[in-house]
A and B are shown apart, each in its own frame.
Chain A
Amino acid sequence: MAAYIKIPRRPMLKSIGIICRRINIACKNYDVFWKMRRKEAVVSERFKSSVCSYHQKCLSGLPTVRHASTIPEITKGVVLSPEKLSQQELADLHENIRKELNIESSDLDKVSQYYFDGKGKAFRPMVVTLVSKACNFHSSKLRDVLPSQLRIAAIAEMIHTASLMHDDVIDAADTRRSQSSINHMWGQKKAILAGDYVMAKASMALARIGNPEVVIILAQVMEDLVKGEFMQLGSKENVNERFSHYLTKTYKKTASLLANSSKAVAILGQCSEEVCNIAFEYGRNIGMAFQLVDDILDFTSTDDALGKPTVADLKLGLATAPVLFAALKHPELNEMIMRRFKGEGDVEKAREAVLKSNSIEEAEYLAYQHSREAVLQIQRLDDSPERRSLEHLTQRLLNRKK
């Protein structure tokens, strides 16, 4: 007697499975579906057409947006640009970092200061400074930035740059910000050791703030950065896992730094736990949106506009959001993802598949969701020029072309 009877899987069940899985990915992970039902979320026309007929019915009658890049909830009124609002505080940022890294003689001086030439966007210090101001205003009605908070802004930039130095060696990148990368100019060994040096200097600056809790928070960032890099080495067989793998990796590699340094400045401003969490969530969401847009631009932009070669992710064998969405429609991509686009013509085929499907739009929609969440979070703080500016920053992120 056979104790186990195998029930054949019906093809129809399988196709429903695919659809449901897709709903899972698009909705469950991001709470979109239920928020849409509760009329808390706006839906793009494309998104509606991409779900199955049953769910389409559920969603009918909800407001829609044509371009996912407009966020309706942003506070109206006068808005100053984030650069202007942080200009005064960040004017000497690179100068100060260079001073911090200064040592007599040897190449280390030149190598470690190479990226702190003042040409970088300094996006992270800007966010950190504005979050400090917005949180300080909410808690104490003072818009000043504490010296310790400014140090966190510099430390965030240093940690980011140190990780770039190492990433460029790992990814064998020859250019960075339209100039030669450190490993290209001075060789791999010096690039790595200089990265360690910058990281050590950042730790020293961090320790000298004298707050053990803040040290723990930023040490977590360093750990996340490495773990994110390790996650990039492998890819998951299972489609659902692959998506969450990608999102976790994105959090660890990009969002963790913004989230945790925002939280750190809120703690240094002696804000309540609620405010600290708002700062963290704002940083996390804007970080996720930032990276998603980055991954999209890798497909849609040109080499010149971006300052680095495009389709770089595919060439490195990395499957980002646009590819993962495209793979839902073009199952032949799955095989390429597993072999990390190493086959002949894989990169071109994958790029074509991405561009001809609506996966770019779906990835944009995901970025939009994170931006919107960032806006909702920061709006829980009292209204201030900095808060408005942070709201608008999310919008600008979505629309950026480079």
Chain B
Amino acid sequence: MRTCIHHLWSFERGKYQTSLCLRAVSYQSLCCRHKHITCSTTPNYSNYFIQGQHGRTISFFGSGGKDPWKKAISEAERIVGYPTSFMSLRCLLSDELASVALHVRKLVGTKHPLLQTAKNFLSDGSNSLQTRGLVVLLVSKAAGSSPSWGDGNQPLVSGIHPSQRALAEITEMIYTAFLVHRGVVDLNKTVPEDGPLKDMEFGNKMAVLSGDFLLASASAALASLKNTLVVDLISQSIDHMTRGAFTEMGVKESSPFSNVKTFDQWKDYVYLSSGSLIGHSCKAALLLANQKQEFVDAAFEFGKNLAWAQQLHQDLTIIQKEGKSNTEYLLLGPVILHNEISPLTVQSDREIIKTVQSSSAVSEAKNMCQHYVDCAMKLITEFPNKEAKEALYNLLRALTTFK
């Protein structure tokens, strides 16, 4: 296991081959899955695993650093039974993805987004990649065991039905597929610094194929749930995500300054590109359990509000840290809020940040974030399972704390 972790680290430094890492990850998720079963016999091992004793946090495991979000995640993982990654092992260990991994190492040194997505996938960080499935599982559990399970022969594990676990995996796969596809590059817009055109073309090819593979596997898994309503809901969310990517905000071309968006446009965009998937997945999970309609509707609204809160939290963090250089500042929630109060007059990114930081927009955005969190909390107060509900509350609370 030490070697696995070592590979992961080396990958971040770009020294090791990606294929090794992907293999390592699949191996690790295997270990993680077994951990739940074996942890009573090998407590030291699992402890080592979760804490990451090397002075550097191994965020891939959602480890317990000081960050309240990460802490909430690792507690939540304990509650749903299976910790960490929900990506289907079947998928990661498949020949198809292994061959992609082999090819992707050719891209090291270029600026193809596929590389970054692969890295983020391995080291979760603040990107909240693999949390969607976790939320689906928590909501499933929080809604409690339904008296009218379709089939009595499949047992619940930690209060969650196997079909709901499958759905959580599907959600992760679809989101990852979408991230990968969104990273396809327009070849006529590449610049020499990105790397040779041939490599970029090759990177596109790999991105298309691996995204398609994830989507197709997700479709097949979705079909095997044998619930056409669920298939419809999840397909709708894919539809929404592609639509979101086509909106002016999704295209992310450096928009002319006069064209700052309204907060409603921001809300629409966040709903399309992320809220829809979480919302529909939570809804579908409760449908699979034949839960009552109020719960099903509440789950959908919960997902929507969670997505808004999450995005606003992320945008605020970028503003406060004077974030990454490649961000389109005009698309950040607080900047849009500021512009609605008093239209921006400055042009450069730096100035925008400075203006927004010192304005009331930041506290306004924090209030909005709190508002969404409150809404989400209120929606699930009726849910019977206290433990899972508390875990969801913790996740939400983490979104209202700022450093």
Annotate B76-119 by CB proximity to A: 1 below 8 A, 0 otherwise: 00000000000000000001100100000000000000000000
**Across the interface, do B220 and A219 meet the contact criterion of CB distance under 8 Å?**
yes
CB neighbours of A106 from chain B (8 A): 243, 246-248
A103-B243, A106-B246 known; A193 vs B181 contact (CB < 8 Å): yes
Annotate B214-251 by CB proximity to A: 1 below 8 A, 0 otherwise: 01110110111011110110011011011101111000
B325 CB-CB contact with A under 8 Å: no
**Across the interface, do A189 and B208 meet the contact criterion of CB distance under 8 Å?**
no
CB neighbours of B189 from chain A (8 A): 187
A80 to chain B, nearest CB (A): 36
In the complex, identify which listed stretch (A62-70, A210-218, A365-373) lies at the interface while the others stay far away. Answer: A210-218
CB neighbours of A218 from chain B (8 A): 223
Main secondary structure, interface of B, reads helix
CB neighbours of B246 from chain A (8 A): 106-108, 190, 193-194
Q: How many residues of A contact B (CB 8 A)?
A: 43
A169-B208, A187-B186 known; A223 vs B217 contact (CB < 8 Å): yes
**Across the interface, do B209 and A208 meet the contact criterion of CB distance under 8 Å?**
no
**Across the interface, do B239 and A215 meet the contact criterion of CB distance under 8 Å?**
no
B212 CB-CB contact with A under 8 Å: yes
- Which of B99, B189, B243 neighbours the largest number of chain A CB atoms within 10 Å of its CB? B243
CB neighbours of A193 from chain B (8 A): 181-182, 184, 242, 245-246
CB neighbours of A172 from chain B (8 A): 201
**Across the interface, do B231 and A203 meet the contact criterion of CB distance under 8 Å?**
yes
**Across the interface, do A212 and B181 meet the contact criterion of CB distance under 8 Å?**
no
**Across the interface, do A108 and B242 meet the contact criterion of CB distance under 8 Å?**
yes
Give the docked Cα–Cα distance between A108 and B248 (Å). Answer: 11
**Across the interface, do B185 and A188 meet the contact criterion of CB distance under 8 Å?**
yes
A192 CB-CB contact with B under 8 Å: yes
Residues A92-135 near B (CB distance < 8 A): 103, 106-108
CB neighbours of A223 from chain B (8 A): 216-217, 219-220
Q: How many residues of B contact A (CB 8 A)?
A: 46
**Across the interface, do B239 and A197 meet the contact criterion of CB distance under 8 Å?**
yes
**Across the interface, do A230 and B96 meet the contact criterion of CB distance under 8 Å?**
yes
Residue of B nearest to A163 (CB): B212
B211 CB-CB contact with A under 8 Å: yes
B188 CB-CB contact with A under 8 Å: yes
Residue of A nearest to B226 (CB): A212
Give the docked Cα–Cα distance between A229 and B209 (Å). Answer: 8
**Across the interface, do B99 and A233 meet the contact criterion of CB distance under 8 Å?**
yes
A58 CB-CB contact with B under 8 Å: no
CB neighbours of A201 from chain B (8 A): 235, 239
**Across the interface, do B188 and A187 meet the contact criterion of CB distance under 8 Å?**
yes
**Across the interface, do B219 and A188 meet the contact criterion of CB distance under 8 Å?**
no
Residues B46-93 near A (CB distance < 8 A): none
**Across the interface, do A192 and B201 meet the contact criterion of CB distance under 8 Å?**
no
CB neighbours of B181 from chain A (8 A): 192-193, 196
**Across the interface, do B224 and A216 meet the contact criterion of CB distance under 8 Å?**
yes
CB neighbours of B229 from chain A (8 A): 207
Give the docked Cα–Cα distance between A206 and B236 (Å). Answer: 12
- Which of B216, B223, B224 neighbours the largest number of chain A CB atoms within 10 Å of its CB? B223
B205 CB-CB contact with A under 8 Å: yes
Annotate B195-215 by CB proximity to A: 1 below 8 A, 0 otherwise: 000000100110111011101
CB neighbours of A197 from chain B (8 A): 238-239, 242-243
CB neighbours of B185 from chain A (8 A): 188-189
A268 to chain B, nearest CB (A): 13
Q: List 30 A-B contacts (CB under 8 A).
A: A103-B243, A106-B247, A169-B184, A169-B205, A188-B184, A190-B186, A192-B207, A193-B246, A196-B181, A197-B242, A201-B235, A203-B232, A203-B235, A203-B238, A204-B236, A206-B231, A208-B232, A212-B227, A215-B223, A215-B226, A216-B226, A219-B223, A222-B215, A226-B96, A226-B209, A226-B215, A226-B216, A229-B209, A230-B95, A230-B209
Interface residues, chain B, with chain A CB atoms under 8 Å away: 95-96, 99, 178, 181-182, 184-189, 201, 204-205, 207-209, 211-213, 215-217, 219-220, 222-224, 226-229, 231-232, 235-236, 238-239, 241-243, 245-248
Please provide the 3 A-B residue pairs with the shortest distance between their CB atoms, ordered closest to farther. A187-B186, A219-B223, A203-B235
